[in-house]
Structure 1
Amino acid sequence: MRVAVFSGAGISAESGIPTFRDDEKGLWSQYDPYEVSSIDGWNRQPELVWGWYTWRCQLARRYEPNLGHRAIADWENHVDDVTVITQNVDNLHERGGSSAVHHLHGRMFTFRCSDCEQPHDTQLPDLPEPVLEIMPPSCECGGLIRPDVVWFGEQLPDEPWNAAVEAVDAADVLIVVGTSGVVYPAASLPERALELGKTVVQVNLEPTPLSERATVFLQTSASAALPGMAQRLRFLVD
C-alpha cells in the first residue's frame, strides 16, 4: 500500500510553534503578515523580512516534532511507501523521521540569492530575543540572500509540485492533516485524489470545504489520530 500525506500548519502548531500574532513581545504585531511574507514586502523592506525569518528559524529550532510527525515516520515500517507533501516551511517532518518530504512552499532553513538564484550556506545568528530589522547578507554577485521559501506573489517551484502530483497519483490513500484546504494550487491535490477515486482521509480540528467530500473526516488533532493509523488504513483501501 502506498500512502501520501498532505500536511499544513495545523500539525506544526501542535508542536507549539506560535503563529504570527503569538509573538510574546508583540514586535511584529503592527505589521500585516503580508509585509513579511510577500515578494513585495521583501522588495520594500528586506531588513524587516530577514529579521522576521531569522526569528522564526530561532523559534522552529526550539520545538520538537510531535506524535503526529513521528507517527507518519513510523508508517514507513508498516506500508510499502510513505510520501509527505507539506505546505510547511519548517523541518519537523524530517526531524520526526520521515525520509521522503516534498516542501511545496520551500524551506526556511535553506537560502538563495535573490538575484542570481544560487543557493547559499548561510548561518543565522543566535538571537536570545527577536530583532525587528536585520540586514540580509550579500551574495558574491551583489544580490541579497533570502529564505528559500515561496512568498505571496510567487509561483510554486516545479520540482516539488511535480513530485507532489506524482505522489498523489501513485498513492492508494491520501491523508490530509492540519490544513484549511483553501490555499491554491496546493488545495487542488486532495481534489485530484478524489477525482482519481483515491481514499482520502482528512484529519483536522475544524471542518473545511474538503470535509464533506472526504472518504473519512476525523475532527481531531494529528497527535490523537495518526499513531496506529497505518494498520487501519488497509481496511479502508481493501
Structure 2
Amino acid sequence: MTPGREHPMTPPRNDALNRVVEHLERATRVVALTGAGVSTEAGIPDFRSSEGGLWNDLHLMVSLSSWGFRLAPGRFYASILRLLPPLLTAQPTRTHYLLAEFERRGKLTAVITQNIDGLHQRAGSRNVIELHGTYRRAHCVDCQHAYTFEEVQNKIQRQELPPRCHRCRGLIKPDVVLFGDLLPSEALARATEAVQQCDLLLILGSSLVVYPAADLPRQAREAGARLIIVNLEPTPYDHRAEIVIHAPLGEFSQFVGDRMGMNLQPLGVPPQ
C-alpha cells in the first residue's frame, strides 16, 4: 500500500488522522474546498452520485438546467419545490463548525464551496466563496433587481408560479449556477487567488470531477501548497495529495476537533 494512503475498509485510521492534525497545526494559510459530501451529511441529497444522485433523474436535470429555466420556468420552479424541504431543515454539521473554528482561530483564510445551502455561513464562517451560488438569493433576469429567498418564497406561496419581478414583471431566477451556466467570474477569481496563496488545501467531500472547480487543487499544488483529501470515494487527485483519507467527514471532523481542542457546536452550546 502506498505510504500516506489508507484502504477505505481499514480501521483505525489514527495514523493518517494524526498526521493531518500535524499538518494543520503547522499550516498558517489553510483553504478548504468543500463539495457535496459536506452537505449530504446534513441530509441534503447530492447531484452526481451513482446511488440516489439527483442527476440520475434526466427529466429533473433538464428542468433545472439554464435552458429548462428559459423554456419552461413554471416547470423549473415546480422542480425547485421538490428539492426545498431538505434545504430548509438542514443544520450545520461538525465539519461546518470545524472550518468556522479554524477561521476564528486565524488559521483558515477561506472556504471555497460547491454547495448552495449556506450552511458554512450559518456555522460561523465569514469568508465563504460560493462557486455555484446560493439558493438564499435571487434576481430579476431583466432589470437585475435583487430578491431574498423569503421574498421569492412568499410569491410562490401566493401561487405566483413562476415568480415575477414586481418592478418589470421579468422572471426571477435563483442565484445558483444551473446546468449549462458559467461559474460567476468574481467567485472563480477569488477562489483562484485563495488557492494560489494558501500553504495547505483541505479538500472535503468533493469528487473533484466538476470543472473549473476541479482545477483548483492543481493550481494550489503548483503554487507549493500541500493537499489533504477527505472523501468517501477516490478522486483524480489522490496521487498528488500528501494525505488521503476515505472516511465519513463527521468522524474526521470530530477526531480533528478533539485533538485540537475545538468545540464543534453552535456558539454558546457546551461540549457534550
TM bucket normalised to smaller:
0.7 to 0.9
Match of 1:143 among 151, 159, 170: 170
Counterparts of 1:193-232 in structure 2, within 5 Å, are 193-227=220-254, 229=256
Counterparts of 1:9-158 in structure 2, within 5 Å, are 9-19=36-46, 31-121=58-148, 122-125=151-154, 135-139=161-165, 140-158=167-185
| CA deviation vs aligned residue, 1:79-132 (integer Å, no higher than 9, x gap) | 43431000111111111221111100110111011223331232415999xxxx
> 1:197–1:231: structure 2 CA closer, same or farther, 3 Å change rule?
farther
Moved more, 184-193 or 43-52: 43-52
Look up the equivalent residue of 1:88 and give its one-letter code: N
Taking structure 2 as the reference length, what is the TM-score of the superposition? 0.74
> 1:79–1:198: structure 2 CA closer, same or farther, 3 Å change rule?
same
Taking structure 1 as the reference length, what is the TM-score of the superposition? 0.84
Look up the equivalent residue of 1:216 and give its one-letter code: I
Query: Alignment RMSD, CA only?
Result: 2.9
C-alpha deviation, 1:232, in angstroms: 7.8
* Mapped contact 2:155–2:163 kept (Cα < 8 A): no
Q: Which residue of 1 aligns with 2:15?
A: none
Moved more, 154-163 or 33-42: 33-42
Equivalent pairs counted in the alignment come to: 226
Name whichever structure is richer in helix by fraction. Answer: 2
C-alpha deviation, 1:29, in angstroms: 8.4
Once residues 246 and 233 of structure 2 are traced to their aligned partners in structure 1, the CA distance between those partners, rounded to angstroms, is: 6
Give aligned-pair identity as a percent. 36
- Are residues 1:166 and 2:193 paired? yes
SS in 2 for 1:205: coil
| Runs of 4+ with deviation above 6 angstroms | 230-233
* Mapped contact 1:87–1:105 kept (Cα < 8 A): yes
Match of 1:182 among 206, 209, 225: 209
Which entry has the higher C-alpha Rg, 1 or 2?
2
Once residues 102 and 16 of structure 1 are traced to their aligned partners in structure 2, the CA distance between those partners, rounded to angstroms, is: 22
SS in 1 for 2:206: coil
* Mapped contact 1:51–1:134 kept (Cα < 8 A): no
Once residues 60 and 153 of structure 1 are traced to their aligned partners in structure 2, the CA distance between those partners, rounded to angstroms, is: 22
Look up the equivalent residue of 1:96 and give its one-letter code: A
